[in-house]
Amino acid sequence: MKYLIVVIIVTSTLTGCSYETLDKAIESKWNQSIDIVNKIDKHQVVLFKSGELYVLSTYEKDKSRYKYSTNDEEGWSFSGETNISFLIKVSQIEQIGNVVWGGLLTDLNIDEVVIWFNHMEDPENSFEIRLEVLNNTF
């Protein structure tokens, strides 16, 4: 029995607070179920929903284990009465830069969102970005 306790302690110390899935890692911090609606593995950015709240944050993946911290979280909720209601945010994430993200409330099938940034003082510096829509999020 003494050996079993030692093995459990060593295993816990080596793995830290990491989980087999990203949703389990997030749920361990939120103490409730969440729904991952979008993620970018290249930058380890995740967008998930908890009820009506949309949350953008980062995670770490080491081999096949996930770690999650609430430090980078930014959450918003929105509602609307029109055919398409939307939330668009630009968030600064350290070591990634500006991240444009958001969500859509609609029954329509939307594949892409085009956002036009209009520089009022210098129209030459205006630009557009095209973002793929997944699960009504981008």
* Tens-digit pLDDT string for the chain (138 aa): 555 454 444 443 344 589 999 999 999 999 999 999 999 999 999 999 999 999 999 999 998 999 999 998 999 999 988 888 999 999 999 889 999 999 999 999 999 999 999 999 999 999 999 999 999 999
Residue 87: per-residue pLDDT: 94
Residue 14: per-residue pLDDT: 43
For the chain, give every domain's residue range.
Answer: 17-132
In whole angstroms, give the CA distance from residue 52 to residue 16: 31
Residue 76: per-residue pLDDT: 95
Entry pTM:
0.80
Residue 10: per-residue pLDDT: 42
Q: Are 56 and 99 in contact (CB under 8 A)?
A: yes
Residue 1: per-residue pLDDT: 52
Residue 54: per-residue pLDDT: 97
Residue 7: per-residue pLDDT: 43
